Amino acid sequence: MPNEAPTAATAGVDFAELLHTEQARLQAELSELGFADGGGGLNYDSNFADSSQVTAERGEAERLAQELREALDEVDAAIQRLADGTYGNCEVCGKPIGVPRLEAMPAARLCIVDAAKH
């Protein structure tokens, strides 16, 4: 055991807690953008002076919201894997993902070797 690298199961890290914290953070960011829980997006004043600037800002906000939603999907999927008992295993090679990597990216699906190939 002392020579074995810790895995998600043995590291003594509460990954459920990490994932739920990450989930809450992403939801808060989405809500700041006005996209929380399937909301209709930002409410720009239609009389706002420069409509091309509004369009650009709206596009930027929607792009960011899309990224946040994708990250949230990844976190949801990781929470599901935790429930299924497959959390912490690389989806490509099946080996345990390194604990430092999981601590940095709790929703990681791939080990560092496979992630580098994508």
In the bound complex, what is the minimum distance in angstroms from residue 78's beta carbon to Zn ion?
15
Which residues have a Cβ under 8 Å from the Cβ of 23 and sit 6 or more positions away?
Answer: 72, 75, 76, 79
Binding site residues, Zn ion, CB under 5 A: 90, 92-93, 111, 114
The residue among 40 and 85 lying less far from Zn ion, judged by its C-beta, is 85
In the bound complex, what is the minimum distance in angstroms from residue 49's beta carbon to Zn ion?
52
The type of residue at 8 is: A
User: What tokens were used for 37?
Assistant: 């829980």
User: What tokens were used for 64?
Assistant: 């960011």
In the bound complex, what is the minimum distance in angstroms from residue 96's beta carbon to Zn ion?
9
